[in-house]
Structures are given as C-alpha cells and as structure tokens.
C-alpha cells in the first residue's frame, strides 16, 4: 500500500491522478443531473486527434484513466529500479511520454469500436422550427416586432422572433396560437400566421386492406 501511495503521489502519476479526480467529479455531477456529458462537444474538435465520433467528455475520461494507470505502473517500476537523480528524472519523463502515447492509442482504438453507439446527429437549426405551432408571448405581433414560444422535437422550448404580414386578416395577441411557416435569414425572424387547432384535420386515416377483387363484368 505504501508503494502504491508513493507512486501515485510521484511524478508523473500525480499529474494524471489530479486529472482523474476532476473526471470523477464531473461524472458525479452528470449522475446528479447537474451537468451534461455533451457539455464540451461544441468547444473541442476531437476529430483532429483521431478520437472524434463520441462525446469529447467520454474520450477525455478514457484517456485520463488509461494514462493514469500506465503512469502509475511506470512510476512503480522506476521506483523499484533504484535509480536516483538525473537518471530517475529522465526515466520519469519517459514514463510521462509513454503514458500519453499509450492513452491516446488505446482511446483511439476504443473509439473506433464504440463509435457506432454514438451516431452523428446534425446540429440544431432554426429551420427545425418551421411548420411548428407556437404560442405568442408579446402583446401583439406586427411587421417589425413580436416574440413567440415554440417547442423543439426534444421537448425543449425556445423564444423566437416572429413577424406577421401587414395584409394578414387575423390579429395575433399574447397567448394566441400561431404557425411558423417561413424563416427570414437576413432579419433572423420567423413569419407567423394564425392557427386554429380545431381546424387541424389530423393525420389521414389508414387505408383498410382489401379482401379481394371482383372480376370485370361479374357481380358481388
């Protein structure tokens, strides 16, 4: 046990140990619902390192875990070698470099096998709101002002800028239901029209299967 603690608190294993503590704390927050494992996906491009295709938090966590285990094992071997001074420092530096390379290689191999469990999904776009029903949140909607609340496919909601054509007959006020039918890229707003759920015919009924066909000229 003493040998394990000495190695864990020595260079270079202590560097990975500190990173491992951060990783464990992060995943505890994820389990508690205080963080999302996709938190850093839009900030780091892991494709450049060959470990893209899975959430960056998963790749980094695996890399830290493999690096810590490798560095700990190498540090134990360095301590058992009995070397001191500059030789020991060189060996420790070699363990650090080896741990980083082995961790990167191992994670790249694991990601290659597990990438199919994390299919690529297109980033969310405002175009996803087109054709969706919204609820007006401002006192009125005109040609130059208006806001509405709309729900995305995943259940989350967003407040978007909406505009109404001056020629439209129906007025839109707070609490009214509208339909987002077009998006203006330049103005970054949606065109909205009034929408009555009572007039929505709903999906068409399924066609009943035919039991058989009657030959031409014959009677049923």
pLDDT tens-digit readout, 169-216:
678 899 999 999 999 989 899 999 988 765 554 444 554 445 444 444
Counting the structural domains of the chain, the total is 2
- Are 102 and 37 within one domain? yes
- Are 8 and 99 within one domain? yes
pLDDT value at residue 81: 87
Give the pLDDT band of residue 122 (cuts 50, 70, 90).
low
Residue 207 lies in a domain: no
> Mind listing the pLDDT tens digit for each residue in 58-105?
888 888 999 999 999 999 999 888 888 899 999 999 999 999 999 988
pLDDT value at residue 36: 62
- Are 9 and 90 within one domain? yes
- Are 94 and 131 within one domain? no
Residue 158, domain CATH: 2.40.50.140
Give DSSP secondary structure letters for 127-175: GGGTT-EEEE-SSB--SS--EEEEE-TTS-EEEEEEE--TT-SS--BTT
Residue 106 lies in a domain: yes
Residue 163 lies in a domain: yes
* Of residues 99 and 113, more confidently modeled: 99
**In this structure, are residues 163 and 194 in contact, taking their beta carbons and an 8 Å threshold?**
no
Q: Given a cut of 80, is residue 120 above it in pLDDT?
A: no
- Look up the domain containing 96 and give its range: 2-117
pLDDT value at residue 197: 66
Residue 217 lies in a domain: no
Q: Given a cut of 50, is residue 218 above it in pLDDT?
A: no
Residues 6+ apart with CB under 8 A from 193: 164, 165, 168, 170, 178, 179, 181
Residue 157 lies in a domain: yes
Residue 60 lies in a domain: yes
- In angstroms, the CA 97 to CA 16 distance is 12
Burial of 67 (0-12, 13-18, 19+ CB in 10 A): buried
pLDDT value at residue 219: 47
- Are 46 and 113 within one domain? yes
């Amino acid at each position: 046990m003493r040998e394990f603690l000495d190695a864990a608190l020595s260079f270079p294993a202590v560097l990975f140990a500190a990173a491992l503590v951060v990783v464990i704390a992060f995943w505890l927050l994820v389990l508690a619902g205080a963080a999302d494992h996709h938190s850093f996906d839009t900030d780091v491009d892991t494709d450049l390192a060959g470990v893209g295709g899975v959430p960056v938090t998963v790749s980094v966590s695996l890399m830290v875990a493999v690096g810590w285990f490798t560095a700990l094992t190498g540090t134990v071997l360095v301590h058992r070698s009995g070397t001191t001074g500059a030789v020991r420092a060189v060996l420790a530096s070699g363990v650090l470099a080896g741990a980083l390379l082995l961790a990167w290689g191992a994670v790249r191999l694991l990601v290659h096998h597990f990438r199919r469990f994390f299919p690529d999904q297109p980033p969310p776009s405002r175009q996803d709101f087109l054709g969706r029903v919204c609820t007006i949140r401002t006192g009125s909607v005109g040609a130059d002002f208006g806001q509405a609340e709309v729900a995305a496919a995943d259940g989350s909601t967003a407040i978007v800028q909406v505009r109404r054509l001056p020629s439209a007959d129906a007025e839109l006020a707070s609490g009214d239901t509208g339909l987002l039918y077009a998006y203006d890229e330049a103005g970054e707003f949606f065109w909205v029209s009034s929408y009555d759920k009572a007039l929505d015919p709903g999906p068409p009924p399924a066609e009943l299967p035919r039991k058989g066909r009657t030959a031409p000229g014959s009677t049923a």
